[in-house]
Amino acid sequence: MGVFPEAFVPVGIDALATVRSLILEDRLIPYLGPGLLSLGGAPVPASPEAVAAGLHRLAPAPKRIRDSMWSVAQYIESKRHRKTLTKFMASLFAAPCQPNALQHWLAGLPLALVVDAWYDGAMAAAMRAAGRDDFLEIQGAPRTYLGANDWTRAYDHAGAAVESPAPPRTLLYTPHGSARPANNFLIADSDYVEVLTEIDIQTPIPDEVQARRALRGFVFLGCRFHDQMLRTYARQIMKRSAGPHFAVVDAGTLTRNEAKFLVDHAIAPIAAPLDEVAAALVG
């Protein structure tokens, strides 16, 4: 732990009682990462590195970039066309993911906002399995598919695209897109050029997301922050939120940059295995 900032002090699993209470009171926004796939053995890539490897198998990329999901995707788009990249991503995420117990639990709660930062669509599936007809999913989408002033697409509880939807009880925000229902993937470096140019002033983040985070904090579950892209998105999505913030971490694999990110943004790290955390939250 000596390489980490002195202010980095993980808390134990006993902190989950507080986290659980805050979620039940709708004072914490679940921010779900690909690590949640480990809870259900899902047959799709469960990390940016796994996506990079999958894309590399379909279209070999230069060695210097092959470990970066965003760079491999950009290479494929540049060499093979966007349609090919979308086809490859759709194939990697073709197998439907069954929601795990934590996602089912969250789906049964009347939360104002849930952020799903992966492409598998399991959280939306959990909402539908719970019979929720009062949620709306807003997905990030490549701007090549959108109007000049648009950044997202919206889908109702049945997965149908909607224009100018009314505010729902629960907003499911998938900022990087999703394989379902329409293969919206923010994945290549080029997808993020305009987003990163504007995200500091919050333009790409839906107004309803900004409004609902204002009185709440975030709890990061199944997330890593070892890449600048991941840190940038998490920082901008939690911007101007009220707090408090928590993140479940693996202290054994945490990088110095991740620890610094948590300290800089007052995110309390809970050093505990994700499966134990999920079991404690579900109760």
Q: Residue 1: its pLDDT value, please?
A: 44
pLDDT value at 149 more than 90: no
* Token pair for 266: 């007052």
* Token pair for 144: 């090549």
Backbone φ and ψ of 190, nearest 5°: -65, -30
Listed range (61-65, 68-72, 189-193, 218-222) with the worst mean pLDDT = 189-193
| DSSP character at residue 168 | P
Q: Residue 16: its pLDDT value, please?
A: 92
Q: Residue 195: its pLDDT value, please?
A: 86
CA atoms 199, 203, 205, 208: torsion sign: positive
Q: Other C-beta atoms within 10 Å of 160: how many?
A: 9
Prediction pTM value: 0.95
Question: In 44-134, which ranges are E strands?
Answer: 113-116
Listed range (57-66, 179-188, 249-258) with the worst mean pLDDT = 249-258
* Token pair for 48: 């940016």
- pLDDT digit string (tens) for 17-27? 999 999 999 99
256 and 236 Cβ atoms separated by less than 8 Å: no
pLDDT value at 145 more than 80: no
Listed range (35-44, 94-103, 131-140) with the worst mean pLDDT = 35-44
pLDDT value at 2 more than 60: no
pLDDT value at 122 more than 70: yes
Q: Residue 198: its pLDDT value, please?
A: 86
Coil/strand/helix, residue 161: strand
Average pLDDT over residues 87-107: 97
Q: Walk me through the domains of the chain, giving residue ranges and CATH numbers.
A: 13-44+93-282 (3.40.50.1220), 47-92 (no CATH)
pLDDT value at 29 more than 70: yes
Coil/strand/helix, residue 153: strand
- pLDDT digit string (tens) for 220-259? 999 999 999 999 999 999 999 999 999 999 988 999 999 9
pLDDT grade, residue 127 (50/70/90)?
very high
Beta bridge partners of 243: none
- pLDDT digit string (tens) for 76-91? 999 999 999 999 999 9
Average pLDDT over residues 35-44: 91
155 and 33 Cβ atoms separated by less than 8 Å: no
pLDDT grade, residue 147 (50/70/90)?
low
